[in-house]
Amino acid sequence: MDGVAERHASTDLLVEGGSVRVAVDTPVALRHDGPFEPLATALEKNDALRDELAREIPVPSLRDYRRIRFGLLAAAALPMAMLLELDRELVLASHASAGRVIIDVLLVAFVVFELTRRTPRRPGICAIALVTVALRWGLVAGRLCGAGVHPLVYVGAALSLGCALVLLTRVPSKARVALELLGKLGISRSELFAATEGVEPPSALVAAAVAAAAGLPAVLYLTRALGVGLVGQGIVFVAFAALAPAIARRATEPGVAPPTARVAPARIAIGVVAGLALTAAAVTAGRLFFDVGAEVARCVERLDAEAKIARAAESAELARAIAKVRASTALVLMTAAIFPFAEERIYRGLLQDVLVRKYGRTYGVFAASLAFGVAHLGIYQVALYQTVLLGIGFGIAYLEGGLLAAFIVHATWNLLQLA
């Protein structure tokens, strides 16, 4: 277009009857002054652009969603409203922390936001949030062994779980919507794959990233073993995280510039919201799953001694870690800023980035999260699964909004645990 942006309606781009042909690398934007991105990546990353195109271009997978989304919202409204009322009563009775209430409000707000969009944004996260609500009500019934439980408790659990199942089975992901839109614009899967396939990192960089991920907790352990104070530990920790990724990349990819693309504030905000919602939903659902199972086993007198010990050990681990941090102002500062910065730079900015380029998103996020969890073996053993789930949430924040989004989610979560 000779450097001059042209305005077109969505229907102008439609293959059937449209007058404007586009390619997978055609730069597009909602505003005349940009920012412009290639069509293939813009449709996946830019929610507003995807909404705008889907408004005028018929997408087969969205037909059912648009018929059922307000029904889903109405069905989910009852258990979510009940949950917030339960939180209010628990706060008044001093049985719930501020962090727990904030997490529940966040999950409810995310579900409402997701189900009021014309096109689905992150239905998987929304489904996990609703499973969390269902498990909360399941825990209420389990603790009472079903005795004297109000019928609304069972209704709330059933409605939440039902809505989650519908989201998982009948609501398309944003990737599927983007793919169908590209098909309507005359772009094939092979063209999309060719345009989005990145340069695979060398094996030496993968090895260097793994070594840096293993080295971060080793450096912290070594400084503690040498008797270095908290300030010194923090300086060494930050220095390692600041230097290791740059050294690894320059030593293994000398001719390739490190990823320094500026992330738009809107994308950072999206990454923070999505990452924090997934972190809260996944960790809470994981913990509640075991709690509900333990309560049901207790009710039927099948809860063995080993299970009791494991549940008590997990609670004790978490309580000890939180109490230790709260007892030291320096540790609070490190937990809120230094640890999130260093860990996100190594585990997401280096390890996950390299593994995603090498093996794809699913494996890259999970493997980096597993490494992140193993790095916390010195703090958690029984509750180690929670750190892996945290890593997945932080990893999604990084994919959506870059390193700053992952840092904000990590720091915010740590602060919520101390609230």
Give me the pLDDT at residue 2, please.
42
| CA distance linking residue 185 with residue 19, whole number of Å | 11
131 lies in some domain: no
What six digits make up the tokens of 27?
A: 């730069």
31 lies in some domain: no
Using only C-alpha atoms, the chain has a radius of gyration, in whole angstroms, of 24
| CA distance linking residue 149 with residue 147, whole number of Å | 6
Count structural domains, the chain: 1
Give me the pLDDT at residue 273, please.
95
Give me the pLDDT at residue 16, please.
64
Higher model confidence: residue 378 or residue 130? 130
375 lies in some domain: yes
Biggest CA pair distance of the chain? 76
360 lies in some domain: yes
Give me the pLDDT at residue 4, please.
55
- Host domain of residue 354: 198-419
- Write the DSSP assignment of 215-284 as a string of letters: HHHHHHHHHHHTT--HHHHHHHHHHHHHHHHHHHHHHH-TTS----PPPPHHHHHHHHHHHHHHHHHHHH
159 lies in some domain: no
67 lies in some domain: no
Q: Taking Cα atoms as reference points, which of 404, 360, 409, 405 lies closest to residue 389?
A: 409
208 lies in some domain: yes
Q: Taking Cα atoms as reference points, which of 284, 279, 243 lies closest to residue 83?
A: 284
Helix (H, G, I), strand (E, B) or coil at 185: coil
* DSSP classification of residue 188: -
Q: Taking Cα atoms as reference points, which of 53, 60, 58, 51 lies closest to residue 8?
A: 53
Q: What is the pTM of this model?
A: 0.92
- Write the DSSP assignment of 336-373 as a string of letters: IIIHHHHHIIIIIIIIIHHHHHHH-HHHHHHHHHHHHH
Q: What is the pLDDT of residues 122-159, one digit of tens each?
A: 999 999 999 999 999 999 999 999 888 999 999 999 99
pLDDT tier at 1 (50, 70, 90 boundaries)?
very low
Give me the pLDDT at residue 10, please.
73
